């Protein structure tokens, strides 16, 4: 098991270096540069442009810039944002808890609703319940996030007045962040009603962000369940007269969950992609919107650093999933 973990860790190193290179190259391949983006309509004279190019070090050979960047990364320095002049790592630390909090809520919602929906659809295969659930999943999967978010805001916040429109907590609450997780910080603050306000602000963004993973999990659960329900041991369990709940809930579902867990792990990337739009709609101060803004402003250090950190997190989660698999299924270790 130990050597299996070591092998997996060894694979991380070239992947990590590859990510630094791709992140570095990706933003530079886009046309335009930060100087032009900053100057806007005013423009910048060729002479001033050259001065700024030198100041930012963009005149150095590309490879040299890359090695400078790599050296910084190895020393824990991801550079400074060209736009805000703040260290990239500090900005990420400020914003990431918001994205993580939203993503955790979304994935809990997606799992809590997606798995039961998939199981019910499999058990009621071919019935109107199955068709309704899978039809809804297909609609959810195809839904443009931006439109869906606005629709929910207009209906639940605008028309019914049940939920707040956007933000992480009502503006009346003001306390310094301790963990960065609003649900926890609101409890720590001790301010009356703060937790309820933070929780109510999470409802709509969580629903929007959970929609696609929910649909994927429901469909995956259904197909895994259908496969398992046709196995001999399930038939045996049934023929032994076990209660349907035990057959489905214990014998079938436990085995069907293995591919579903993989799917849930893969949803982390989907959540990150969805977070970009969800955060923009709900004015959610997370890393998704931060990265998009940086791409538009050609803020090289932020795009490079942000991509690297997000990729690093995904790599670590994948490593943990691999290790967990190794524990569950010894064949994987070989």
Partner 1 sequence: MKKLALLLAASALASAFATSAWSKTLVYCSEGSPEGFDPGLSESGTTFDASSKPVYNRLVEFKRGTTDVVPGLAESWTISPDGLVYTFKLRKGVKFQTTDFFTPTRDFNADDVIFTFDRMSNKDNPYHTYVNGGDYTYYSDMSLPKLITSWEKVDDNTVKLTLTSPNAPMLADLAMDFASVMSKEYADKLAADKNMIQLNQKPLGTGPFTFVAYQQDAVIRYKANPDYWDGKQKIDDLVFAITPDAAVRMQRLKAGECHVANAPAPADIPGLKGDKSLTVMEQPGLNIGYLAYNTTQPPFDKVEVRKALNMAINKKSILEAVYPGIGEIAKNPIPPTMWSYDTKTEDDKYDPAAAKAMLEKAGVKDLKMKIWAMPVARPYNPNARRMAELIQADFAKVGVAVEIVSYDWTQYLKLAADPKHDGAVLAGWTGDNGDPDNFVTPLLSCDAVGSGNKAAWCDKSFSEVVKKAAEISDKAERTKLYEHAQAIFKAQAPWATIAHSLVVLPMSAKVKGYLQDPLGSHRFDGVDIEE
For the CB of residue 42, give the shortest distance to partner 1 in the complex, in Å.
6
For partner 1, the closer of residues 173 and 325 by Cβ is 173
For partner 1, the closer of residues 65 and 166 by Cβ is 166
For partner 1, the closer of residues 118 and 149 by Cβ is 149
Angle between helices 194-229 and 253-281 (to 10 degrees): 140
For the CB of residue 51, give the shortest distance to partner 1 in the complex, in Å.
9
Neighbours of 268 (CB within 10 A): 18
Can you list the alpha helix ranges (DSSP code H) found in the chain? 2-29, 34-39, 46-56, 62-74, 88-123, 128-142, 145-152, 182-189, 194-229, 232-239, 244-246, 253-281, 287-296, 300-328, 330-333
For partner 1, the closer of residues 170 and 318 by Cβ is 170
∠ CA 35-41-43, rounded to 5°: 50
* Maximum separation of any 2 CA atoms in the chain, in Å: 86
For the CB of residue 279, give the shortest distance to partner 1 in the complex, in Å.
9
- Are 116 and 129 a contacting pair, CB within 8 Å? no
Instruction: Give Cα 214 distance to the centre of its chain.
Output: 13
In angstroms, the CA 39 to CA 265 distance is 42
For the CB of residue 76, give the shortest distance to partner 1 in the complex, in Å.
16
The DSSP 8-state label assigned to residue 283 in this structure reads: T
For the CB of residue 201, give the shortest distance to partner 1 in the complex, in Å.
10
3-state secondary structure of 28: helix
In angstroms, the CA 251 to CA 260 distance is 15
For partner 1, the closer of residues 153 and 210 by Cβ is 153
For partner 1, the closer of residues 40 and 241 by Cβ is 40
Nearest C-alpha neighbor of 125 from the set 279, 242, 248, 212: 248
For the CB of residue 16, give the shortest distance to partner 1 in the complex, in Å.
25
For the CB of residue 330, give the shortest distance to partner 1 in the complex, in Å.
45
For partner 1, the closer of residues 105 and 234 by Cβ is 105
In angstroms, the CA 224 to CA 233 distance is 15
For partner 1, the closer of residues 63 and 171 by Cβ is 171
For the CB of residue 4, give the shortest distance to partner 1 in the complex, in Å.
40
**Backbone angles phi and psi of 80, in degrees to 5:** -120, 140
Site residues (vs partner 1, CB under 8 A): 30-33, 36-46, 48, 52, 55-56, 80, 82-86, 91, 94-95, 150, 153-154, 157-158, 160-168, 170-172, 174, 176-177, 193, 196-197, 200, 203, 280-283, 285-286, 289-290, 293, 296, 298
């Amino acid at each position: 098991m130990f050597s299996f973990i070591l092998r997996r860790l060894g694979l991380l190193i070239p992947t990590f270096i590859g990510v630094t290179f791709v992140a570095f190259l990706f933003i530079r391949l886009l046309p335009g540069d930060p100087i032009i983006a900053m100057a806007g309509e005013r423009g910048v004279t060729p002479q001033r442009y050259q001065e700024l190019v030198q100041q930012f070090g963009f005149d150095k050979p590309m490879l040299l810039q890359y090695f400078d960047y790599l050296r910084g990364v190895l020393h824990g320095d991801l550079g400074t944002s060209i736009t805000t002049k703040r260290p990239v790592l500090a900005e990420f630390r400020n914003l990431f808890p918001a994205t993580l909090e939203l993503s955790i809520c979304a994935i809990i919602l997606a799992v809590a609703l997606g798995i039961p929906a998939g199981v019910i659809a499999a058990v009621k295969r071919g019935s109107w319940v199955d068709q309704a659930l899978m039809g809804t999943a297909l609609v959810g999967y195809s839904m443009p996030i931006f439109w869906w978010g606005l629709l929910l805001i207009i209906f639940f916040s605008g028309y019914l007045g049940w939920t707040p429109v956007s933000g992480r907590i009502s503006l009346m609450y003001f306390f310094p962040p301790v963990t960065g997780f609003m649900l926890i910080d609101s409890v720590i603050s001790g301010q009356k009603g703060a937790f309820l306000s933070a929780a109510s602000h999470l409802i709509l963004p969580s629903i929007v962000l959970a929609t696609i993973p929910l649909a994927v999990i429901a469909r995956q659960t259904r197909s895994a369940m259908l496969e398992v329900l046709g196995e001999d041991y399930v038939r045996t369990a049934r023929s032994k007269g076990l209660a349907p709940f035990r057959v489905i809930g214990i014998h079938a579902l436990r085995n069907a969950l293995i591919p579903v867990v993989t799917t849930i792990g893969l949803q982390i990337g989907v959540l990150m992609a969805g977070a970009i739009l969800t955060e923009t709609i709900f004015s959610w101060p997370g890393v998704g919107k931060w990265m998009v803004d940086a791409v538009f402003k050609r803020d090289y250090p932020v795009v490079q650093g942000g991509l690297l950190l997000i990729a690093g997190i995904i790599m670590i989660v994948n490593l943990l999933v691999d290790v967990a698999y190794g524990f569950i299924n010894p064949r994987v270790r070989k």
